[in-house]
Structure 1
Amino acid sequence: MSTATPTINQLVTPNNWRLRPGYSSEGDSDFESMHILIGQFLADRHSPDPLPDTSLLIENAKFQWGYGKPLEKVINSQSDLEFLMKHPCLFRNAIAIIEPWEHVGQNPLGEDVRASLNVAYIAQKIADCDSILFPVWSSGLFDPDVVVPLITSGLAVVVEGGDPSVRDASTFEGGKCSLNDLHCLVEKLLISRSPTSALALFICLGHQLAAQGHINLIKRAVQQVLSLEYLPRDRNGKMLKALKRVCQQIETVGSSLKITKRNGHIIAEGWDHPEFAVGPNEHKEVGERRLHHYQSPDGDALDIPQELISTHEITADEYEGVIDTAIEYEREVNIAMFHSDEVNEEAILFANWAYRLLHDVIIPHRSILAGSRLAWLLKLPDAIEILCSTTIDDEIVTECSATCIIYKDFESKQIRRSFTCQFHPELLSDLRTVGTCEPPTYARLKIDDGARLFARLLYEGMQE
């Protein structure tokens, strides 16, 4: 089946958009009401739906983007974006969904799976939370300096999956948003988490784009620091000297670190290799998988420096990553997988170590850095934690199935988090899109591990 976007003649224009947030509620939806409703959804696995019993498919029987309410808000053009910018109550009370490709792949029934529809359905069904779609594969990428501040002022940003491969730019041909465009957008998102910004959730292809984004940001930081001769107001060059010492250490490890599969095959050596951050998975994973706690690797067997492993173990002990806690306290967590590439464990261990080194060396010099050309370094994450893995017949297949990106404010010490996951928490075990099958009831969503995990991430993110 095709999940193509409706034609221009079929699309609902901004003139027909709802200008007040919410669809099912008797009043307007807002932050407080949605936060309470998500909390109620998570409180147990059996309580009834607190919202009016309104079908989300009455005005949009096919439940497709652009056909009608509640999926009318699709940003297809600059004029759509400008209309949205004039109505802040819409984007401040909604989830922004970045759609890199028209679908995330085909399920066992041969259906194209447009997973963004499931994100919108779950959010609307459990909390009457609207969604705004940015289908960049068909619209092209709008100016990230405009789009990112806009979408990060809402409730959450979801970067969805997609069928192309981060390892091959040619697989994005035919779309209007190139792999390089997506890297620019994701890197901008990664350094936009602040006290006034929304949680970002990167799913599947988004998870892989985020991994490459970490490496790109770290390389950019190292290159800029090492290219400077001096910084104004840096008395005796003390700050720059300390930064250069750390960046030289990061460059040495990054340029020599090997990416080794569990069968001993080396697929990449050094951070300049195109498969350093993301490589082919040993097995294509399609279907339901159980999540397991991440276990530190054998550094000697995989030739991973022990300092990278030890630093990650400290990170895991210091911070709480929500997904790992869910694995601990929810009986067991089974989730939908849909991928053939994977984020390399070594790359994330390296990125966590590099971020922590940079953060620690910046702390005593942050006031000088804040007024310099390197001020953007203050926006980098403090750490990344690998949260879980998946297995097939007790064999680990995807070591890095999810990560928590940790931001620690230099002044308040407040912690903020964003998340990436290789799996699809928005898809049920049948891997079908809402609209191609009977839409899940509130009761079914309430017992589904993926829907609960998606809601948990929203709930936690809204508190930060």
Structure 2
Amino acid sequence: MDRSISWRLLPGFYRPGKSSFKSIQALFSEFLRDRHSPSLLQAHYDNDTSDSINYGWGDSAPLEKEITSQEDLDTLINTPFAFNQAICIVEPADHVGFNTIGEPVRASINVAWLAQRIADCDSIVFPLWKSGLMDRKKLAHVLTSSLAVVFEGGHPTVRDSKTFDNTNCSHADLLDLSEELILSRRLRSAPSIFICLGHQLAAQAHIRLIKKATHEILETIDDILINQPNSRNALKQVCNRIQALGTKLRIVKDDKIVATGWDHPEFAVGINEVPEAGHCEIIHYEKSSSHPDPELAELITTQAITAEEYDGVIEESISHEKDLNIVMFHTDEVNEEAILFANWAYRNLYQSLLPARNQLVISELSWLFNLPSSIEILCSTTAEGRLCTEVAATCINYRDYDTRQTRRSFTCQFHPELRDDLREFKKSGIPAFDNLKKDDGIRLLIRILHDSLME
């Protein structure tokens, strides 16, 4: 069936055909300007649906674009106006979990309504749990050509691949897509925001990419840099050092070693000491506890250097807005040591690749220049005075070799699109605009979108 018959082909729901990148950016900015002013779109809201909705994805505009088959994807790719000014939402599972009243929560609905309500920004959902990856090249093209990609959470656990068995997209498939999105952040490409399960998949993908990079460099560099012995040897030394630490670094929780080395299935993601569901406070990240591996001191220092080099969206929000309270909804967490290691490895690779760039960029190792240049832990969470999640959010930095400009993608363990009740807007109704402006999580999501869209 030709889905374009029922799809809006031009951007905008409240202002049909008039939404644009400029208007979306301006409306995001206006939303963040204060916590009390009314929406500039107020006159365009339909009073009959302003505080209640009873439909979901694929039922009616503005949620009509649900890509559930290869046919849908082919139709979409032939209507670029439908996706190049829209947010693409990737769903790895049918819901992110059950809330306190037993409802399954399809959080993507909230992302779509927030973007539409605040900035008349359309959204398209890709329920991979229904469709599978479809044509990977076409899917990647649409995602990276959109305004932004939101990689949603889900109820399976990345610690057990079997928990994905009841979906049409395996754990391995999702890792492949996560790697592709991490490598896709180039000039004029869409930023990615990985949420909860997406945050955890991104962490696993970082480690896989670093393993792949060091392996391929050591296997091929002697033949590629035949006439550049200094650059060749420096690269080999860096890769050998990364591999040596990667194979022995230990993950410690509550003074117990829970994983050793990057080949352990829970090196990147482990079970959280305290499962979180509900309100938590975001605090600045700080590593204060001791660790049995002496090398961690260098990783922490490298993290501090990364934090000094870049202005963190979330860090600025903590410092300048107020104490931030957001919603957690998970039992697994990204391991602190794994992200400290990834940042250190990315930085070392970035620096050692640069001297031989001209030769490497025309070789089979050219993909290495799409790797992040660093990854920063932005914040942690506390509940009832106890540190809960050390890596509550990260910023993935991409320092461009030619322009020296930096682009960013983000990951967060928390769900900024959910409110305290952990409910879909389809069931709870869309909050009044002034309540949206006061919600810390929603403001954080819009700030991340606003800032990353400018890069």
TM-score tier (shorter):
over 0.9
Question: For the residues of structure 2 that align with 1:41 and 1:202, how far apart are their CA atoms?
Answer: 22
Partner of 2:123: 131
Partner of 1:264: 255
Aligned residue identity for 2:120: D
Aligned residue identity for 1:47: S
How big is the shift at 1:142?
Answer: 2.0
Partner of 2:270: 279
Question: For the residues of structure 2 that align with 1:81 and 1:283, how far apart are their CA atoms?
Answer: 40
Is the 8 Å Cα contact of residues 12 and 72 (structure 1) preserved in structure 2? no
Is the 8 Å Cα contact of residues 66 and 74 (structure 1) preserved in structure 2? yes
Q: Choose which of 176, 181, 184 in structure 2 pairs with 1:192.
A: 184
Partner of 2:4: 14
Q: How does 1:154-233 map to 2 (within 5 A)?
A: 154-228=146-220, 230-232=222-224
Residues 1:334 and 2:349 are matched in the alignment: no
Is the 8 Å Cα contact of residues 3 and 75 (structure 2) preserved in structure 1? no
Secondary structure in 1 matching 2:150: strand
Secondary structure in 1 matching 2:262: coil
Q: How does 1:382-393 map to 2 (within 5 A)?
A: 382-393=373-384
- Closer, same or farther: CA 15–299 of 1 in aligned 2, 3 Å: same
Q: How does 1:20-99 map to 2 (within 5 A)?
A: 20-25=10-15, 27-51=17-41, 52-54=44-46, 57=49, 61-99=53-91
How big is the shift at 1:48?
Answer: 0.9
Aligned residue identity for 1:382: S
How big is the shift at 1:306?
Answer: 1.1
1:398-454, Cα deviation, whole Å (9 max, x unpaired): 000000000000010001010000000000111100111122121111111111111
Residues 1:350 and 2:350 are matched in the alignment: no
Secondary structure in 2 matching 1:19: coil
Aligned residue identity for 1:38: F
Question: For the residues of structure 1 that align with 2:328 and 2:154, how far apart are their CA atoms?
Answer: 13
How big is the shift at 1:163?
Answer: 0.2
Question: For the residues of structure 2 that align with 1:29 and 1:204, how far apart are their CA atoms?
Answer: 30
Is the 8 Å Cα contact of residues 87 and 149 (structure 2) preserved in structure 1? yes
Is the 8 Å Cα contact of residues 12 and 66 (structure 1) preserved in structure 2? no
What's the TM-score, normalizing by structure 1?
Answer: 0.94
Secondary structure in 1 matching 2:259: strand
Q: How does 1:232-381 map to 2 (within 5 A)?
A: 232=224, 234-261=226-253, 263-300=254-291, 305-381=296-372
Question: For the residues of structure 2 that align with 1:55 and 1:321, how far apart are their CA atoms?
Answer: 38
1:141-188, Cα deviation, whole Å (9 max, x unpaired): 123322122211111000000000011000001100000000000000
Question: For the residues of structure 2 that align with 1:380 and 1:297, how far apart are their CA atoms?
Answer: 29
Is the 8 Å Cα contact of residues 289 and 337 (structure 1) preserved in structure 2? yes
How big is the shift at 1:63?
Answer: 2.9
- Closer, same or farther: CA 236–451 of 1 in aligned 2, 3 Å: closer
Question: For the residues of structure 1 that align with 2:389 and 2:417, how far apart are their CA atoms?
Answer: 19
Question: For the residues of structure 1 that align with 2:48 and 2:61, how far apart are their CA atoms?
Answer: 8
How big is the shift at 1:14?
Answer: 3.0
Residues 1:461 and 2:441 are matched in the alignment: no
Is the 8 Å Cα contact of residues 251 and 335 (structure 2) preserved in structure 1? yes
Aligned residue identity for 1:146: K
Residues 1:404 and 2:395 are matched in the alignment: yes
Question: For the residues of structure 1 that align with 2:293 and 2:415, how far apart are their CA atoms?
Answer: 29
Aligned residues: 452
